Amino acid sequence: MSSALAGSARASRPVEPWLEELDLLVRARYPLLYLLTWEEHRVDAVLAELARAHGKALFHWSITRGLRHVGNTRGPVLPEDTRNPLEALAAIEKLGEPALVVLKDFHPYLEEKSVVRALRELAHFLKSSFTTVVLLSPSLLIPVELEKEVSVIDVPMPGYGDLMSLLKEIVAVVRRTNKATIELTREHADQLIKAALGLTLAEAENAFAKAIAHDGKLGPEDIKRVQDEKRQVIRKSGLLEYYPPEESLGNVGGLEHLKGWLTQRTAAFGERARQFGLPEPRGLLLLGVQGCGKSLTAKAVSAHWGLPLLRLDMGRIFSGLVGSSEENLRKAIRVAEGVAPVVLWVDEIEKGLSGMGSSGTVDGGVSARVFGTLLTWLQEKTAPVFVVATANRIDGLPPELLRKGRFDDIFFIDLPEHPERQDIFRIHLRRRQREPSHFDLGELATLTEGFSGSEIEQAVVAGLYEAFAENAELAQRHLVRTIRDTFPLSVTMRDEIQRAREWARGRTRPASASAPSGGTP
């Protein structure tokens, strides 16, 4: 990297890999670069410094303003109106000096054959010059004719250091103008920055300003406000759902082995773990009987580790437009990595991959390509995104998903045993402001042999309805009556559950400390 550009980075932080790559490609005289980012203003500053460092003139093009010279020095004479993409490309070819030309939001015009042809011819011409054209866009759209001509660089979201610098600048301005009070300790500032990870610099600045405007100060209570701003960003993606970390492992009955595994890794995303030589946890695959706590566990992991939870609905990934499903998944992955460290919950993953067996004839291979993209990311991801994938139908999972390296471990969650059922009754009675010691939990656990956790919860709810209808307080008799009226899944789906147990034996780890009477692994 040139010394001038390296000097523009803060001495206390290493130069980011994407900046090194960008500098290298410009020095290597690559004709066409594609920077994928929402942060036009931030990247404009980087490209201006890059042009200065390499002694190149800087030009910007947009459909509203055409091609124009940027900088203090006098630029070359350009045609009067270059808003038309073809005229702009022709003007770039006639530039008589080394230049960095930035085309903003040029991707819609790459659907026009004449523009694609003109850009390809320009790329060939620029190979013998010292000019580089940079396409700057939040959306990746490369026609097949240009695939061998364009080099793509993903511009990451601002990192911890970038956001900390922004926060320091805002704090300095606030203190200088005495317009607000700063009540941040070093620890609170660290939490505030972590809450802002995944926001652009502009979004983070707006979030900090909104927090200050709310009550005239910036303090620890504003951490949640910044998290709410991040929730808005995730919602706008349309592919992920944000869940605040509310559930806890204490709300999950039983599953001692799984809880112990998670507790052992509570501090695994911290800097102390990196210094100890530990890699960041990759993820878990939770298999098992429907209603036995897989989804609840996914929610509890985020609260237990103090991380936000994102839910990826595989159904939203698939859409009717050719090629858009793969792009949807890549976009969801970029959002998740942008807000990392985070827990990414892939719910009922087998439903999203249900087209694998016939993807070549039913959906044109879309399911296979999406699955391939997901597998590659699971294997090679470096961002601290902990994936919790849940599945009810084990026979619908492709064997490639179960290979070592995709997940840290695979747990099988079976129907709860007697002591676990007591624990589940205790949890749901307390959740509804009832004292568990007023009930015979042993009898209730015996009566609910073969019940799932969700079925036990529904028995408590049904008992409350009965008591409410009688205008009486909830009693043992109400619960016993609703339990005896319930036919659990273990009865209606006995064969399917037994097949799942047999498959899991020797392939997965049991989530519970004791094996149920049904013959679990």
- Give the pLDDT confidence score for residue 361 in this predicted structure: 40
* pLDDT (tens digit per residue) in 246-265: 677 777 877 888 888 888 88
| Range among 272-276, 282-286, 326-330 with highest mean pLDDT value | 282-286
**Can you give the residue ranges of every domain in the chain?**
3-154, 160-237, 249-413, 418-449+453-487
- Of 194, 170, 190, residue with least CA distance to 182: 170
Residue 352: predicted pLDDT: 64
At 10 the pLDDT is: 40
Question: Nearest CA to 309 among 285, 353, 273, 340?
Answer: 340
Give the pLDDT confidence score for residue 7 in this predicted structure: 40
pTM: 0.69
pLDDT given at position 243: 79
CATH class entry, domain 160-237: mainly alpha
Domains 160-237 and 249-413 fall in the same CATH topology: no
Distance CA(467)–CA(291), nearest Å, equals 25
pLDDT at 56: 93
Tens digits of residue pLDDT in 160-219:
888 888 888 888 888 887 777 777 778 888 888 878 887 888 888 888 888 888 878 787
Q: Tell me what the pLDDT averaged over the chain comes to.
A: 83
Q: Check residue 358 and give its pLDDT.
A: 43
Q: What is the pLDDT of residues 12-23, one digit of tens each?
A: 445 688 999 999
The strand pair at 385-391 and 342-346 is best described as parallel
Q: Which helix (H) or strand (E) holds 233?
A: helix 222-237
Write down the pLDDT at residue 440: 95
Q: Is the pLDDT of residue 364 over 60?
A: no
Query: Sorting pLDDT into bands at 50, 70 and 90, what band is 517?
Result: very low
pLDDT tens-place string over residues 63-76: 999 999 998 767 77
Whether 6 shows a pLDDT value over 60: the answer reads no
Whether the pLDDT of residue 108 is over 70: the answer is yes
Give SS3 for 174. Answer: helix
Query: Greater confidence, 452 or 328?
Result: 452
Whole-number pLDDT of residue 195:
81
Share of residues in the chain with pLDDT > 70 (%):
90
**Is residue 9 over pLDDT 60?**
no
pLDDT digit string, tens, across residues 432-452: 999 999 999 999 999 999 998
Q: What would the two tokens of residue 361 be?
A: 């004839």
DSSP 272-320: HHHHHTPPPP-EEEEEESTTSSHHHHHHHHHHHHT--EEEE-HHHH--S
Q: Which amino acid is at 15?
A: V
Residue 447: CB partners within 8 Å, gap ≥ 6?
A: 480, 483, 484
| pLDDT(458) > 80 | yes
User: Which CATH number among 2.60.40.4070, 3.40.50.300, 1.10.260.40, 3.90.1150.10 corresponds to the domain 249-413?
Assistant: 3.40.50.300
Burial of residue 457, with CB atoms counted within 10 A of its CB: 0-12 exposed, 13-18 middle, 19 or more buried: buried
The third-level CATH classification (topology) of the domain covering 3-154 is Rossmann fold (3.40.50)
The tokens of 272 are what?
Answer: 């102390």
Q: Report the candidate in 23, 29, 100 with the shortest Cα–Cα distance to residue 59.
A: 100
Judged by average pLDDT, the poorest of 39-53, 77-91, 348-362, 377-391 is: 348-362
